[in-house]
Amino acid sequence: MRPRTLDRVHRRRLATQRLSAAGLPHGADVVRLLTCVQAQDAPLAAWSLALRMPAGTTYADVLAERAVGGWVRTHVLRPTWHLIAPEDLRWVQGVTGPRVLTSLAGRHRGLGLDDALVSEAMTLLEALLAGPNPHTRRELRTAFAEVGLPTDVERLAHLLLHAETRCLVCSGPPRGAEHTYVLADEVVPPGPADSLVGEDARRELTRRFVAGHGPASERDLARWSTLTLGHVRTALADLAGTLEHVELDGQRLWFDPDVPSRTTRPHAAYLLPTFDEVCLSYAATGFPRRDPAATRARLVSESGGGIVVVDGEDVGTWKRVVSPTGVRVTVTADVPLGTDDRTAVEEAAQALAGFLERPLDLAFGEQSG
């Protein structure tokens, strides 16, 4: 298949990411396919995984995989939370971590996080977490306060980000709803990919991105990976015999011809989380808005929701509120939805309710103004 229109590009992407192709058996398989899954909203990241797994996958299923170490949740790739397979942690941090820290150097100077303070914090973390001895952020704050290290929200967060991007710490077993930290070397065994560095690592990251996200442009990859455009272009040139590309509106979009891309479980509508990989990865060739002129306050990241996609078009936003007795899903459309569109959205909302194992309470609205 050689897509030549945006619609065909989207169809291939949906299949490549397993949204419209056979679901992958485990959440860990999804994480490996996508390499890094943006996950600052952890419950909605679980929904992103389930969308790419067999029908009937529940939140409890995803949490069970997380609890036994199916993936690591840490700051990797960019200065935000991602899910990543344990065996990918060291080499991806090795190729992207230094660039993340360089991009934040000015902010760290402004916060007074000099080399001596960072070194003291890293030494303390090594001592506190050895065992392994998981600590929550609240417990780390108390320990930092006892020795006079910064405990305010921003500086503590940046010190922990230092430790994560250096691959000193990563996520540990969850303690209820709280995230914990452990020493990476105590929970992530050495793997063959750990030796990937420099051009080899950049080439592998490029190959993996295209395999999980293609068709995608070099700029999509540069934004996703923090690699420079020069590094991206070199890697793509090295992979020219493995990857293929198509031209769309003057852009070259790369894909891996060996990755299955056939639609086998089409869905007319999707309720996609704000930070889903298929939403954020494509700056110029994302889902077109059905009404490009509609005004929309995109605050869905604060309310727990995302975008509504119907027949390949972004038609509005959704948010959900979960209670012990049900899940309230509110869909706010940019344009009036016809009967078929509403039926498709209802099916997508019912799938979300099934994932949460709650009765569905669905409400439709339209964006005013």
Q: What pLDDT is recorded for position 304?
A: 87
Q: Please say if the pLDDT value at position 302 is more than 60.
A: no
- The full 3-state SS of the chain, as one line of letters, equals CCCCCHHHHHHHHHHHCCCCCCCCCCHHHHHHHHCCEECCCHHHHHHHHHHCCCCCCCHHHHHHHHHCCCCEEEECCCCCEEEECHHHHHHHHHHHHHHHHHHCHHHHHHCCCCHHHHHHHHHHHHHHHCCCCCEEHHHHHHHHHHCCCCCCHHHHHHHHHHHHHCCCEEECCCECCECEEEEHHHHCCCCHHHHCCHHHHHHHHHHHHHHHHCCECHHHHHHHHCCCHHHHHHHHHHCCCCCEEEEECCEEEEECCCCCCCCCCCCCEEEEECCCHHHHCCCCCCCCECCCCCCCCCCHHHHCEEEEEECCEEEEEEEEEEECCEEEEEEEECCCCCHHHHHHHHHHHHHHHHHHCCCEEEEEEECCC
- Dig out the tokens for 260 from the structure: 């299955």
Q: What pLDDT is recorded for position 245?
A: 95
Q: Please say if the pLDDT value at position 182 is more than 70.
A: yes
Q: Judging by beta carbons within 10 Å of its beta carbon (0-12, 13-18, 19+), is residue 239 exposed, middle or buried?
A: middle
Q: Please say if the pLDDT value at position 343 is more than 50.
A: yes
Tell me the domain boundaries of the chain.
6-194, 287-366
More confident residue, 365 or 65: 65
Q: What pLDDT is recorded for position 1?
A: 39
pLDDT digits (tens, 9 = 90+) for 117-172: 999 999 999 999 999 999 999 999 999 999 999 999 999 999 999 999 999 999 99
Q: What pLDDT is recorded for position 155?
A: 97
* pLDDT averaged over every residue in the chain: 94
pLDDT digits (tens, 9 = 90+) for 270-287: 999 999 999 999 989 999
More confident residue, 304 or 95: 95
pLDDT digits (tens, 9 = 90+) for 23-64: 999 999 999 999 999 999 999 999 999 999 999 999 999 999
Q: Please say if the pLDDT value at position 300 is more than 90.
A: no
Q: Please say if the pLDDT value at position 20 is more than 80.
A: yes
Q: Identify the band that residue 366 occupies on the pLDDT scale cut at 50, 70 and 90.
A: low
